[in-house]
Structure 1
Amino acid sequence: MLNNPSLKYKAHPPVNISDRQWPNNTLTHPPRWLSTDLRDGNQSLAEPMDNARKMKFWDLLIACGFREIEVAFPSASQTDFDFVRSLIEGKRIPENVNIQVLTQAREDLITRTFESLQGVHQATVHLYNATAPLFREIVFRQTRDEIVQLAIGATRQIRRLCEASPETNWTFQYSPETFCFTEPEFALQICEAVAEVWEPDTSRPMIINLPATVEVSMPNVYADQIEYFCRHFSRRQQVCISVHPHNDRGTGIACAELALLAGAERVEGCLFGNGERTGNADLVTLALNLYTQGISPGLDFSQMKKVVEVVEECNQLPVAPRHPYAGELVFTAFSGSHQDAIKKGFAARQNASDAFWQVPYLPLDPADVGCSYEAVIRVNSQSGKSGAAWLLEQNHNLILPRPLQQAFSLRVQKEAERGEKELSQMAVWNLFRQAYGVVDAPLLRLKEYVCNNQPDQRTVLSAEIICQGKKLSLMGEGNGFLSAALTALCREVNTELEIVSYQEHTLGKRSDSRSVAYVCCQDRTGRCAWGVSIDSDITRASLQAMLNAAADFVTC
């Protein structure tokens, strides 16, 4: 890279608008959406889709709610031509869906385009030609007037062919390609000339598409360009202003959103941002950005995994794990502090008085796009006490006491560091069971017990336990059954322990639900150990949990 890039590159000039309005505007409704996955997206693939993959993608777009779909460049290849015919002849186009096709400003290509559309109920013919100085001077070597005349001539031909087929509801779309680095006054001039030929009205709809064909400026400059055009175009009320942002600077989403604030009414793009070079604006992200602001986007991504699967299969390109809203890891927290905040957010939501979604680090409820909460928190060596506790609560209904969360998190961290990898939900559960005695054959196993409450409030307990294969008979008394059991155990194995924590809760709402008990024992040195047990008998669960905790100190 150059130490002084200003010797090679120059900033794109701003638009002179002293009273710009878009910064104070607010989005309140969704735009019209056009998917160009089957045209712009398809032409950018190393291996373009065959007819079967195109049809599968088409069905997905219809299911997601798209009503405007750019399906092909029919004059560019026989494959594209045949796909348009298969949609029409196969009656695959719903009545409320408008297909769009692209053509260059050449007489033979326009004629071929209309041949592909014979018999269609409604369609948009999309005409484009490049208008920027870079293309006029280097690629085409044409003057401004020659560029304008090219667009006018093509528009006349399209109008003539549309009028020759009145059985179809036609829409005309014109794109001054390379609009974003065309002089604003010239972009306005050529669009005025084209509109004068087409004469847009309710019976002859027209779309003017103002693309960021290659991103060359910051998004605010693109917004200024859109506002300038909208404020100066003489037939503004008779046309729909559309935008087609690319993502060369990584700001395609921002360009689209600011363009809508500046007056655009329609957005063209692809699912997950596929398209030439760095891609088009991502319509999934744009739609869900609106959704998280309380605006219904008019598109349905409630089964996001299915959408990802189909797009990956058809495009033969992966959706990145960190892709907004759709990637495998976008709802996932590994960081301990993030996990703790998310866990508390979900807990607060259960008791919240209003319905508004407010969970730290999660701007969207994963359930709204068909994702389970299991994917929200995943455990590795960076995770804190809340990560493993969350998995146990979500999958096993265990609500660990805070000190036990802390103790178990240290075990999880050591295990993750030892294996140098993420721990699965099952691995966390197995580690918990082994650590706290939730196994079929714990070191100290309660076989049977009898409790009797005495008139003086004392409890007498007799029990039989199995300790490393040997039977032990316990007899003790205390101010409760746990106290009586611990007194008897300590006397039998000649040790001193005390219970410093005891908690219990049911694992369900039914009367026959099982319960879980958590017990922490401490010896004379202050060393603590936890035991956990699950049983339909809460007394048995509590006694076994105490034995599991005491097992750390007992030698039979």
Structure 2
Amino acid sequence: MTSLTAQSATTIAPQTAAWNRQQPSGMPSHRYRDVFSRVDVPLESREWPTKRLTEAPLWVPVDLRDGNQALAEPMDPERKRLFFERMVAMGYKEIEVGYPSASQTDFDFVRLIAETDIAPDDVTIVVFTAARRDLIERTVESIAGISNPVVIHMYTATAPMWRDAVLGHSREALKELILAGGRDMLELAGDMPGVRFQFSPEVFNLTEPDYVLEVCDAITELWDARPERPVILNLPATVEIATPNVYADQIEYMHTHLARRDGVILSVHPHNDRGTGIACAELAVLAGAQRVEGCIFGNGERTGNVDIATLALNLHAQGIDPKIDFSDIDAIRRTVEHCNRIEVHPRHPYVGDLVHTAFSGTHQDAIKKGFAEHRARAAALGEPEAELEWRVPYLPIDPADIGRNYDAVIRVNSQSGKGGIAYLLESSYGITLPRRLQIDLAKRVQHHSDESGAEVTAAEILAIFTEAYCAPAQASVGAGDAVRPVPRLAAFETTGDAGEERTVVVLRSAAGAEAVTEHFRVGPVEALTAALADIGIDLDVLELHQNSIGAGNSSEAITLIEFRHAGGTAWAAGRDRSTLRATLAAVMAAASRA
């Protein structure tokens, strides 16, 4: 695998053949520099491209601090508590709860944790502070009396642009400022039981690798990082500025060059400015990161923090336990939307309303066949469907894993095909259609959808099906100039033993006139079609399908028949608690269409 670094850059350019020659956009791209002119990662060889994800990293949701700062209306105490309790219930064991020196609300929430039992004993509380003595003092004051493990997270921006334009410090001056904050941490909280330290060189990914390594080694030395009391070094992609492989190179460089590595928990905090925060986090873990900070569903400044729900469920989809419970993802979404007052996009990975939904006909057909194959494999192996390896096209995970049912997996609009329409009838009502009937019904449903321009529900498909095949058609039978309505079946009785059956059929016209016929040694379909032929309605049943709808005493039978008549071939259907009556109803429905 080739990595796009300053040492081994692959040129990526559009084709210049005449058939693909593109014109300049007119956008002022010349104003920007590529990442290689900003960050030169001195990594001669790399191991991360050959690695595979095998276990979940340590997760740290930062919704209550970093995500909360990104809200137009920050959370009130009630919403913060609700969100915190949801994260605890999901199984997070380390939660960043706020920036207690930045607002009274955050300070009060930390005090709530100290003074109540809302945080289980095994949950580590993380609080955030800048490297300034008065802010560190306020932070330490907020955690007084907390019985839970606590991490005090100190940060300072280290990149050249921030040093020059924001902080006004040289490299050496900024290093001393950071170490001064580290010494204040030791003085004020170094002896507090259960308290550990974390340092973030903010904008790590835009900082010179040699400088950030120097600063991190200095702080771990100051804090005496060792396995029994490790220091967390968090390396943020505060503003995402490069392809994910560059971030992976930066993380691997730190992972392989840090002093006291066995006393360091290497953490990452990607943002999503380029839309590749997920990829950055996954490659960073391959490169040596052990811990990931982010927000559930990715809220955060600008385009957001990395989405740790998607990261976790990506692991689940690869057969790796994410160690976080997403089995009721809709309840989680309701909490997040309520607390953030931001709706989750319907196409958001895993949690969006439409992420397991197919409207396309080819997708629907593949999903329908995949479900059928999954059921057949389970039956052949004698295993529960829920325990069998998941292999259904277009569905990377079983929606049931995250508390979703299959009702919305296939939905029908004008782009849908016969497979999706048939799936909805079968899954919602138990009606299984043969292929040729699927094609016929699909034309009717698509005509309806084209006229309405809207999605077609399963109930609407059933109504279209019933009107097209089950209900008596508005038709009549002509004989010369005489036109008469199609009769109804008034009576049908079979007597005698097998092979000696005698069937009496009574057809009654709308005017009350009856035609009574007798039929010997034939089945019910042959008897009824013969009786209809006697009054001038000729139809030939080509194919007959039967199945039950529902289960137990409340089940119904449905009969589907394909028949030939003077105008060609068509379909009809009948439903009844009795299989015989369902079949007779299907033949009479066919007669009304013949």
TM over 0.5: yes
Counterpart residue number, 1:348: 373
Aligned mates of 1:422, 1:302 — CA distance in 2: 29
Counterpart residue number, 1:532: 573
On the 8 A contact 1:449/1:464 being kept in 2, the answer is yes
Counterpart residue number, 1:449: 492
Query: Aligned pair in 2 of structure 1 residues 470, 255: CA closer, same or farther (>3 Å)?
Result: farther
Counterpart residue number, 2:291: 266
Counterpart residue number, 2:452: 419
Query: Aligned pair in 2 of structure 1 residues 52, 522: CA closer, same or farther (>3 Å)?
Result: same
Counterpart residue number, 1:244: 269
Q: Which amino acid aligns with 1:198?
A: W
* Higher mean C-alpha deviation, range 6-15 or range 71-80: 6-15
Counterpart residue number, 1:82: 108
Q: TM-score, normalised by structure 2?
A: 0.88
Measured after TM superposition, the shift of residue 3 of structure 1 is: 3.1
Aligned mates of 1:5, 1:409 — CA distance in 2: 50
On the 8 A contact 2:226/2:262 being kept in 1, the answer is no
Q: Which amino acid aligns with 1:489?
A: L
Q: Which amino acid aligns with 1:134?
A: M
Q: Residues 122-141 of structure 1: matches in 2 within 5 Å?
A: 122-141=149-168
Q: Which amino acid aligns with 1:252?
A: G
Residue among 378, 401, 411 paired with 2:434: 401
Measured after TM superposition, the shift of residue 216 of structure 1 is: 0.5
On the 8 A contact 1:460/1:475 being kept in 2, the answer is no
On the 8 A contact 2:100/2:139 being kept in 1, the answer is yes
On the 8 A contact 1:459/1:484 being kept in 2, the answer is no
On the 8 A contact 1:502/1:520 being kept in 2, the answer is yes
On the 8 A contact 2:540/2:563 being kept in 1, the answer is yes
Aligned mates of 1:402, 1:2 — CA distance in 2: 50
Aligned mates of 2:219, 2:512 — CA distance in 1: 96
Counterpart residue number, 2:62: 36
Q: TM-score, normalised by structure 1?
A: 0.94
Measured after TM superposition, the shift of residue 490 of structure 1 is: 2.4
Aligned mates of 1:469, 1:410 — CA distance in 2: 36
Residue among 495, 513, 532 paired with 2:537: 495
* Higher mean C-alpha deviation, range 428-437 or range 357-366: 428-437
Measured after TM superposition, the shift of residue 495 of structure 1 is: 2.7
Q: Which amino acid aligns with 2:218?
A: A
On the 8 A contact 1:180/1:211 being kept in 2, the answer is yes
Aligned mates of 1:472, 1:257 — CA distance in 2: 78
SS in 2 for 1:19: coil
Counterpart residue number, 2:343: 318
Measured after TM superposition, the shift of residue 232 of structure 1 is: 0.3
Output one character per residue of 1:114-148: Cα deviation in whole Å (capped at 9) or x when no partner.
11101112111000000001101111110001111
On the 8 A contact 1:462/1:473 being kept in 2, the answer is no
On the 8 A contact 2:158/2:207 being kept in 1, the answer is yes
Measured after TM superposition, the shift of residue 6 of structure 1 is: 4.8
Aligned mates of 2:398, 2:496 — CA distance in 1: 51
Q: Residues 142-541 of structure 1: matches in 2 within 5 Å?
A: 142-166=169-193, 169-352=194-377, 353=381, 355-437=388-470, 446-452=489-495, 457=499, 459-465=501-507, 470=512, 472-477=514-519, 479-492=522-535, 494-508=536-550, 510=552, 513-526=555-568, 528-541=569-582
Measured after TM superposition, the shift of residue 448 of structure 1 is: 3.5
Output one character per residue of 1:395-429: Cα deviation in whole Å (capped at 9) or x when no partner.
11111111111111111101111111001222122
Q: What percent of counterpart residues are identical?
A: 46
Counterpart residue number, 1:23: 49
Query: Aligned pair in 2 of structure 1 residues 542, 170: CA closer, same or farther (>3 Å)?
Result: same
- Structure 1, unpaired ranges of 5+: none
On the 8 A contact 2:540/2:564 being kept in 1, the answer is yes
The answer to whether the aligner puts 1:12 opposite 2:41 as a matched pair is no
Residue among 75, 81, 96 paired with 1:70: 96
On the 8 A contact 1:42/1:315 being kept in 2, the answer is yes
SS in 1 for 2:35: coil
Aligned mates of 2:563, 2:159 — CA distance in 1: 78
SS in 1 for 2:144: coil
Query: Aligned pair in 2 of structure 1 residues 297, 469: CA closer, same or farther (>3 Å)?
Result: farther
On the 8 A contact 1:206/1:239 being kept in 2, the answer is yes
- Structure 2, unpaired ranges of 5+: 1-23, 476-485
Output one character per residue of 1:32-74: Cα deviation in whole Å (capped at 9) or x when no partner.
0000011111110011110111111111111111111111000
Aligned mates of 1:64, 1:50 — CA distance in 2: 21
Measured after TM superposition, the shift of residue 535 of structure 1 is: 2.0
On the 8 A contact 2:157/2:203 being kept in 1, the answer is yes
Aligned mates of 2:527, 2:412 — CA distance in 1: 39
Aligned mates of 1:313, 1:444 — CA distance in 2: 61
Count of matched residue pairs = 548
Q: Which amino acid aligns with 1:270?
A: C
Residue among 83, 90, 104 paired with 1:57: 83
On the 8 A contact 2:228/2:263 being kept in 1, the answer is no
Measured after TM superposition, the shift of residue 520 of structure 1 is: 1.8
Aligned mates of 2:489, 2:410 — CA distance in 1: 35
Output one character per residue of 1:250-283: Cα deviation in whole Å (capped at 9) or x when no partner.
0000000000000000100001100000001111
Aligned mates of 2:516, 2:446 — CA distance in 1: 37
Output one character per residue of 1:292-327: Cα deviation in whole Å (capped at 9) or x when no partner.
100000001111111111111111101000000000
